[in-house]
Amino acid sequence: MDRVIPDLLIWYRQNARDLPWRNTQDPYRIWVSEIILQQTRVEQGKSFYMNFINNFHDFCHIANSPEDSILRVWQGLGYYSRARNMIKTAEIICHDFGGKMPANHKQILSLPGIGAYTAAAIASFAFGLPHAALDGNVRRVGSRFLGLYEVLGSKQSDKIITEYLEQHIPINEAGEFNQALIEIGATVCKPQKPDCHSCPLSKQCVAYQKNTQNELPVVARKKAPVNSYLDYMWLEADGYTWLTKRDNHGIWKGLYEFPSKTRDAETRNFPFEDWIINPEYASILSVKEYKHQLTHRTIYARLWHLSTSLNNIVNKNEFTRIESVSIEAYPVHRLMLKFIEQKETTTHHD
DNA sequence: AACACGGGGGT
DNA sequence: ACCCCAGTGTT
């Protein structure tokens, strides 16, 4: 690789996208950007990054803020455990490391929410430490450049790529080298139709030499999503509505939503008799069906919009009664945003 | 090694 | 529909 590294670095300096987290060496900002960009496209992450650093200025600021306020900024981005792990990491850095990210790869790697990729990215981008940062881009570039048929992301594949890169990483330009490889993967060595003719690595790329760039990398087959069926209760009474905070289950942990029950695919009965004292005194404003597609799950949700009086509602500890107008202060998932947004769009219909 | 974990955009 | 995204933590 030594022969193409100068070409790679020159290419990067001429072609790097101007991204908001690239104009800083601040480990805090680099950390924020790297967490946001986990399994998230650059274009999707930009506005969340700007919003995040405008609301939270350093590690101790996060550590001293309520969980709901961080989740509220994260709302709609997905993989919410990232935000909760950021709080844990911010607390550790604020209390044990004097409020500053340690300039040490092993200590960075030990922090919650920071795995092999993110630790190497922070270590190299912020501190110039020579660790290979293998994300999806670099794995693909490495697989093609070295002509690997090991399954992408497998132990063997990662080991080969990591050892190769750390053997060749320029000791004084580790950060730029890693960013350049990521940039090549994102903009040139794309999953489909790579632009090999404009790639600074092509003259040493095994796949390009053998014309196998379209059959590499070898990717494991994905699992089909499973279906789940839910009834949600959007209950309004005298200007109040009810939410619950998800905690013990897997999905959307820490976010708020309307009270819900799981159901069978074909069930259509009114499911909330035990939450309302006299169902006949509650009016059904609407019943709407929603299909919400996640990566690993398809949710068929039915939203029951109900209206009744306060004294007709069973008091349950797990339900939080809030003023209807204050709902936007609570962090909610995307499906909840779909539920709520219909309110503003149905201000008038015959 | 396999799985759970969101949401969005490209083809 | 299916793929993939500046992946991590748990089982």
DSSP characters over A33-50: HHHHTTT--HHHHHHHHH
| B11 C1' to A92 CA distance, Å | 43
Judge whether A219 lies within some domain: no
Kindly state the average pLDDT of the residues A261-284: 92
Domain boundary at A158, A185, A210, which? A210
**Cα separation, A9 vs A1, whole angstroms:** 12
Residues of A tagged active-site: 34
Domain boundary at A210, A239, A262, which? A210
Percent of all residues in chain A with a pLDDT value above 70, rounded to a whole number: 97
* Confidence band, pLDDT 50/70/90 cuts, at residue A342: low
**Residue A121 in this model has a pLDDT that exceeds 80:** yes
A272 and A310 belong to one structural domain: yes
Nearest residue by alpha-carbon distance to C1' of B10: A192
Tell me, what CATH number does A36's domain have? Answer: 1.10.340.30
Nearest residue by alpha-carbon distance to C1' of B5: A79
CA distances from A244 to A299, A322, A324, A327 (A): 18, 10, 14, 12
Strand C neighbours among A 280-319, CB < 7 A? 295
A177 and A51 belong to one structural domain: yes
A189 and A317 belong to one structural domain: no
A166 and A107 belong to one structural domain: yes
Kindly state the average pLDDT of the residues A316-321: 91
| B5 C1' to A34 CA distance, Å | 17
**Cα separation, A279 vs A152, whole angstroms:** 55
The boundaries of the domain holding residue A21 are 5-210
Stated length of chain A: 350
Bases of chain C below 7 A from a protein C-beta are 2-9
Contact criterion met (CB below 8 Å) for A127 and A27: yes
- What is the number of domains present in chain A? 2
Judge whether A26 lies within some domain: yes
Q: Which of A42-51, A95-104, A184-193, A261-270 has the least mean pLDDT? A: A261-270
H helices of chain A, in order, are: 5-15, 27-36, 42-55, 59-63, 67-74, 81-96, 105-109, 116-127, 136-146, 155-168, 174-187, 206-210, 334-345
A40 and A184 belong to one structural domain: yes
**Residue A312 in this model has a pLDDT that exceeds 50:** yes
pLDDT in the model for residue A15: 96
A198 and A237 belong to one structural domain: no
Tens-digit pLDDT profile for residues A164-175: 999 999 999 999
**Residue A345 in this model has a pLDDT that exceeds 60:** no
Phi/psi class of residue A153: alpha, beta or left (left: φ > 0; alpha: ψ in -120 to 50)? left
A183 and A98 belong to one structural domain: yes
**Residue A85 in this model has a pLDDT that exceeds 70:** yes
Percent of all residues in chain A with a pLDDT value above 90, rounded to a whole number: 91
* Confidence band, pLDDT 50/70/90 cuts, at residue A343: low
Asked if A107 CB < 7 A from strand B, the reply is no
A90 and A149 belong to one structural domain: yes
Burial class (CB in 10 A: 0-12, 13-18, 19+), A40: middle
**Nucleotide minimizing C1' to CA distance for residue A254:** B5
A283 and A244 belong to one structural domain: yes
Relative to beta strand A297-307, strand A283-293 is antiparallel
Domain boundary at A210, A242, A261, which? A210
Give me the torsion for CA of A112, A132, A26, A37, rounded to 10°: -60
Asked if A225 CB < 7 A from strand B, the reply is no
**Residue A128 in this model has a pLDDT that exceeds 80:** yes
Nearest residue by alpha-carbon distance to C1' of B8: A44
**Cα separation, A175 vs A218, whole angstroms:** 28
* Confidence band, pLDDT 50/70/90 cuts, at residue A111: very high
Bases of chain B below 7 A from a protein C-beta are 1-9, 11
A184 and A263 belong to one structural domain: no
Residues 6+ apart with CB under 8 A from A281: A308, A309, A312
Judge whether A185 lies within some domain: yes
| B11 C1' to A194 CA distance, Å | 14
**Residue A45 in this model has a pLDDT that exceeds 80:** yes
A112 and A258 belong to one structural domain: no
